[in-house]
Chains A and B, each alone.
Chain A
Amino acid sequence: MKLIKDKIYIKIIFFGTALAGKTTSLQWLFDNIIPDKMKITDDITSIKTSFGQTLLFDFVPIQLGNNIILRMYTATGQDYYRSTRKMLFEEADGIFFIIDSQKEELEHNQEFVDEFKNYLSNIKGVKDADVIVIFNKHDLKEVYTPDYLKEKLGLKNYPYFKASAVTGENLKQAFIAMLEKVLSRLKEKGIA
């Protein structure tokens, strides 16, 4: 959390494998959950590759209250862009870890969990961030259950939601849960 001029800034990022549903989740929240009066910009700002995937990030700021701005980013999911992904994590207050629940993605998810654990110990502020896991695409066939995935991937210490970014199922609940966490931390600890 940051204090700049008369505003408190909170940073939340969406992290996960390529095509896990990070941008779709953010877009769904922006289109369906964020009240218009809180929107600072008309749409999400994206830097995309020539084939439409996130190159650097997607970004959207929203005004939660008079003095509180929430800034949400999605990190790029392609392995090729790992070095640029890392920079988004610094001073993150909340992290949505988007897991693609499809069986064929298990190994890839594990790589991202390893990367995440590396950030936890090596990037300033990340270990204090609130983390919520979203097990996405559970509505598809050939998926693992959240219980299996959280055990297998070593994510059982984090709260989680079983979701579908395409339909929006449980995304709003996950978003509210994240807001509750970061705002409560702001209330209790202030800005470190």
Chain B
Amino acid sequence: MLKIQDVIGDIIKKVPGVVGVILLDIDGIPIEIAGQFDMKPEDLGALLAACYNSYGQVGMELGQKLDSIIVEYGSLKLCQNSMPRGLLTIIASKESYLGMIRLEAKRAIEKITQLMGKTEIARKEIMEKNKLRMPNDYEIDDILSKFKEELE
């Protein structure tokens, strides 16, 4: 079965010059990462989401929906793309072809959107798969005690 990790990894394989792909929740929480980044994913995600949401706000003021952002640095280019409840960001060398990046981003977004499925079903599956449950009283006390220790 195809996984999100495979879909974003394929972008690196298919498009010459792509060095990294990061899939973020709309708040910037990293969902999947392929390639190497010099930054902590949490920091990178927060910054990318802030930039994207800022441009989204500008678009809203102009009465326009934001589809993508393209940024050019000295030797890199960055392409951020909207998707349902998330952002797909592709980082590539300056020489890589923007048309190919955009085409592969579009294809990947279609596949990822299908893989993510309906939120409620996906959530239930994730909980079961990871044996995840809400914290109980004991665990909450344990977390709080760590901060209370810092007080003393």
Query: What is the distance, in angstroms, from B82's C-beta to the closest C-beta of chain A?
Result: 15
Query: Which B residues are in CB contact (< 8 Å) with A83?
Result: 57, 61
Give chain B interface residues in 31-69, CB to chain A under 8 Å: 31, 40, 42-43, 46-47, 50, 53-54, 56-57, 61
Q: Are B150 and A32 in contact (CB under 8 A)?
A: yes
- Interface readout for B116-146 with A: 1 if CB under 8 Å, 0 if not? 0000000100110110101111011011101
Cβ contacts A153-192/B at 8 Å (1 or 0 each): 0000000000000000000100110011001101100110
User: Given known contacts A3-B132, A73-B46, A90-B27, what 6 new A-B pairs fall within 8 Å (CB)?
Assistant: A11-B27, A41-B40, A59-B43, A65-B142, A176-B144, A176-B148
Q: How far is the CA of A5 from the CA of B141 in the complex (A)?
A: 25
* A47 pairs with B47, CB closer than 8 A: yes
Let me know if A145 is at the binding interface, CB within 8 A.
no
From B57, B132, B147, B150, contact of A8 by CB (8 A): B132
B residues at A contact (CB < 8 Å):
25, 27, 29, 31, 40, 42-43, 46-47, 50, 53-54, 56-57, 61, 123, 126-127, 129-130, 132, 134-137, 139-140, 142-144, 146-151
Question: B46 touches which one: A35, A45, A179 (CB < 8 A)?
Answer: A45
Q: Is A2 an interface residue (CB 8 A)?
A: yes
A-B contact pairs, 19 of them (CB 8 A): A3-B132, A8-B132, A11-B27, A35-B146, A38-B146, A40-B40, A41-B42, A45-B43, A57-B50, A65-B139, A73-B46, A83-B57, A84-B57, A86-B57, A176-B148, A183-B135, A186-B134, A187-B140, A190-B134
Q: Does A78 contact B (CB under 8 A)?
A: no
Contacts of A191 in B (CB 8 A): 123
Q: Could you tell me if B27 and A2 are in contact, using CB atoms closer than 8 angstroms?
A: yes
Q: A67-B132, A187-B140 are in contact. Are A40 and B42 (CB under 8 A)?
A: yes
**How long is the Cα–Cα vector from A140 to B130 in the complex, in angstroms?**
50
B53 touches A175 (CB 8 A): no
- Whole-angstrom distance between the Cβ of A173 and the nearest chain B Cβ: 8
Chain A positions within 8 Å of B, measured between CB atoms, are 2-6, 8-9, 11, 32-35, 38, 40-41, 45, 47, 56-57, 59, 61, 64-65, 67-68, 71, 73, 83-84, 86-87, 90-91, 172, 175-176, 179-180, 183-184, 186-187, 190-191
Q: A3-B123, A59-B46 are in contact. Are A172 and B147 (CB under 8 A)?
A: yes
Q: Which of B47, B56, B129, B135 contacts A65 (CB 8 A)?
A: B135
- Chain A: CB-nearest residue to B151: A172
Q: Verify A61–B136 contact, CB threshold 8 A.
A: no
- B144 shortest CB reach to chain A, Å: 6
- Chain A positions within 8 Å of B142 at CB level: 65
Q: Residue of A at shortest CB range from B43?
A: A45
Chain B residue nearest in CB terms to A1: B134
Tell whether A87 pairs with B53 under 8 Å between CB atoms, given A2-B27, A41-B40.
yes
CB-CB nearest in chain B for A91: B27
